[in-house]
């Protein structure tokens, strides 16, 4: 046999691998799902994907495995480019063993994860698998352990994005939970530790797969999923968009982009969007859209813990992370879930050198027995810890209310924000004037001939003396009170000044945050 014969033989094998089994491909399409290779063609720049270990096969014997040894062993691994930047990937191929993980399958994933960490490039996983391969027993379980260990090693070093495009059950669900972002597709992707049959057997509850662990459940109820979309094409396009906002690793800055939106653009619309009355709601999304380049931003956890907004955007072409109270949802209070949501986002931004912009309009922490018993102190401390620990440039803007501990937690001057700005509508205080008057002057009000008139006067006095717009700036807790229309330009100037910021933390193995 000549060299040409060998090359021809190799070409035939590769063609067979790429084509797959038509019947299995048809079954995948019948479920409304793309194949692993079709997904890779949508994720990467055209012609840029390089596959490794395409001809890997399992070596397991017994339980019928020896009769079926397909190439790739059910997972495609390699690297390519997204908008010209290197990205590593592993993609489960549901057509082979249902994408179930065995020893060889896991070894391929381990290898590509190690390569991504060594190269300092993002890792994307396209998940569509049936969990551990039962026929391979403990070897499959050990394979998952190796993945979890590498997820943790890569955390805060390279961006890790999990894209759920099919089932993900049992221990397999913990790998996506360890990554930075989780994408899901409605109807076709599910995540759960125990499936509906086990739930029914143990608790008697009957529920569907989507009802238990579908995309909308994890996007709006559990908070496991950061993004959810109706189809795979849109989902993968948004993964590409997210990658364009992230650095390759923690040693780089996020990629800058040219912006045609003037840095000194006045935002006159803000004067109309935000009511003067602190009790009237408005949509903070509209404020963010008015401030950022071309009104474009990518909201993270859009439907979970909606009293706070977390989003990635650009200001003068530079990526920023935005954390903002949302007055249209529970008046913008901080509760257990919103504190955790914001803390996780702040932590991610700090890990990947993304400056933070915090827009404050917060009446306080949500009161209630459920909140206290649920650990609001511990969960609120997560956000406090995340901000205090962050060394990236940080700019705070106080739009209206900033009361009590929630004011401190929302990146106040006292916990280390670099620049604190406020609108002329700001009210910074321990609590609202009504509550303060009732506490401080309770006896005086009760003893008065006309308690309501006395209370009204005391509220007015409290506001004029301790809650006027210049009280905090007079004491150096706010750097400047600005015209709301100048907020965009003020943010851009502050962030430009802070671009060379260098801050360090005390030498330690790691902190001990309130997990």
Measured on CA atoms in the order 492, 498, 500, 503, is the torsion positive or negative? negative
Residue 221 is classified by DSSP as I
CA–CA dist 91, 39 (Å, integer)? 8
CA–CA dist 220, 210 (Å, integer)? 13
pLDDT of residue 71: 80
For residue 490, CA distances in Å to 7, 178, 320, 486, 493 come to 63, 36, 14, 6, 5
pLDDT profile of the chain (515 residues), mean per 10:
81 73 86 94 97 82 66 91 98 86 90 98 93 77 92 98 92 92 96 87 90 94 97 98 98 96 97 91 98 98 98 98 97 97 98 98 94 96 97 97 93 96 89 63 71 68 69 88 97 97 89 90
| Catalytic residue numbers, as ranges | 170-171, 405-406
What's the length of the chain?
515
pLDDT of residue 140: 80
CB of 382 closer than 8 Å to CB of 348: no
For residue 375, CA distances in Å to 306, 339, 461, 514 come to 19, 11, 36, 11
| The model's pTM | 0.93
Domains defined along the chain, listed by start: 3-243 (3.90.226.10), 270-431+468-499 (3.90.226.10), 433-466 (no CATH)
CA–CA dist 123, 191 (Å, integer)? 20
pLDDT of residue 304: 98
Contacting residues for 387 by C-beta, under 8 A, at least 6 apart: 346, 394, 409, 411, 415, 416, 417
Residue 295 is classified by DSSP as G
CA–CA dist 432, 462 (Å, integer)? 9
pLDDT of residue 129: 85
User: CB neighbours (10 Å) of residue 317?
Assistant: 15
CB of 396 closer than 8 Å to CB of 370: no
CB of 317 closer than 8 Å to CB of 257: yes
CB of 340 closer than 8 Å to CB of 223: yes
**Residue 55 CA to its chain's centroid (Å):** 35
CA–CA dist 333, 336 (Å, integer)? 10
CA–CA dist 477, 466 (Å, integer)? 13
């Amino acid at each position: 046999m000549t060299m040409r014969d060998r090359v021809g033989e190799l070409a035939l094998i590769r063609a067979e691998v790429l084509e797959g089994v038509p019947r299995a491909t048809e079954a995948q399409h019948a479920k409304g799902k793309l194949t692993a290779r079709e997904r890779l063609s949508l994720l990467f720049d055209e012609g840029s994907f390089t596959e490794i270990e395409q001809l890997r096969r399992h070596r397991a014997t017994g339980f019928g495995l020896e009769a079926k040894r397909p190439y790739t062993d059910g997972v495609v691994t390699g690297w390519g480019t997204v908008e010209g930047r290197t990205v590593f990937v592993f993609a489960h191929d549901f057509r082979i063993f249902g994408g179930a993980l065995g020893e060889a399958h896991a070894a391929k994933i381990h290898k590509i994860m190690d390569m991504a960490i060594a190269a300092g490039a993002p890792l994307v996983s396209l998940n569509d698998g049936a969990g551990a391969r039962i026929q391979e027993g403990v070897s499959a379980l050990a394979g998952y352990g190796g993945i979890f260990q590498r997820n943790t090693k890569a955390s805060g070093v390279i961006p890790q994005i999990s894209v759920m495009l099919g089932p993900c059950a049992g221990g397999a669900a913990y790998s996506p939970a360890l990554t930075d972002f989780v994408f899901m597709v409605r109807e076709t992707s599910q995540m759960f530790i125990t499936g509906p049959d086990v739930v029914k057997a143990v608790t008697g509850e009957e529920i569907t797969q989507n009802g238990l662990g579908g995309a909308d459940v994890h996007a709006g109820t559990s908070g496991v999923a950061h993004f959810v979309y109706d189809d795979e094409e849109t989902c993968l396009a948004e993964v590409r968009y997210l990658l364009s906002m992230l650095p390759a690793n923690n040693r780089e800055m996020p990629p800058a982009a040219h912006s045609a939106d003037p840095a000194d653009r006045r935002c006159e619309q803000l004067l109309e969007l935000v009511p003067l009355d602190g009790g009237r709601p408005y949509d903070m999304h509209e404020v963010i859209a008015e401030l950022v380049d071309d009104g474009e931003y990518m909201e993270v956890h859009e439907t979970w813990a909606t009293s706070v907004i977390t989003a990635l955007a650009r200001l003068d072409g530079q990526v920023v992370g935005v954390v903002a109270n949302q007055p249209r949802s529970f008046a913008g209070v901080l509760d257990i879930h919103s504190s955790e949501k914001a803390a996780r986002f702040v932590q991610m931004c700090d890990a990947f050198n993304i400056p933070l912009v915090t827009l404050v309009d917060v009446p306080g922490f949500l009161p209630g027995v459920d909140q206290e018993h649920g650990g609001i102190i511990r969960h609120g401390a997560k956000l406090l810890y995340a901000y205090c620990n962050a060394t990236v440039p940080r700019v705070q803007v106080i739009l209206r209310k900033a009361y009590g501990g929630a004011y401190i937690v929302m990146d106040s001057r006292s916990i280390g924000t670099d620049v604190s700005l406020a609108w002329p509508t700001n009210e910074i205080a321990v609590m609202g004037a009504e509550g303060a008057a009732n506490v401080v002057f309770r006896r005086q009000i009760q003893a008065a001939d006309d308690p309501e008139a006395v209370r009204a006067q005391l509220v007015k006095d409290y506001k004029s003396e301790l809650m006027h717009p210049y009280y905090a700036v007079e004491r150096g807790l706010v750097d400047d009170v600005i015209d709301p229309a100048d907020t965009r330009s003020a943010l851009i100037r502050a962030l430009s000044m802070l671009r060379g910021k260098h801050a360090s933390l005390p030498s330690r193995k790691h902190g001990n945050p309130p997990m």
